[in-house]
Amino acid sequence: MPKMKTHSGSKKRFSLTASGKVKFKHANMRHILTKHSSKVKRKLRKGGIMSDADAITVKKLLRKIT
């Protein structure tokens, strides 16, 4: 049986913290930013921590099940 491959799209979009949580960058910050308020843009600038339920799926894609 060959080795399982890491999902290439996931490894570009997500990273793991030392404690095993999944970090991600918020969407909607690429273009057409004039319609967003400053408050929204400031909030989207920061990264996010994925919920535990969704983190299980991402860890399977990254093959980092702990």
- pTM of the full structure: 0.81
Going along the chain from its start, the domains and CATH numbers come out as 8-61 (4.10.410.60)
The whole-number pLDDT of residue 4 equals: 83
Are residues 17 and 50 in contact, defined by beta-carbon separation less than 8 angstroms?
no
Residue 44's CB: how many other CB atoms inside 10 A?
Answer: 16
Residue 40, φ and ψ in degrees, nearest 5: -65, -45
pLDDT given at position 65: 65
* Averaged pLDDT in 10-residue chunks for the chain of 66 residues: 88 95 96 97 97 95 76
Mind listing the pLDDT tens digit for each residue in 9-24? 999 999 999 999 999 9
- pLDDT for residue 40: 97
pLDDT of residue 66: 56
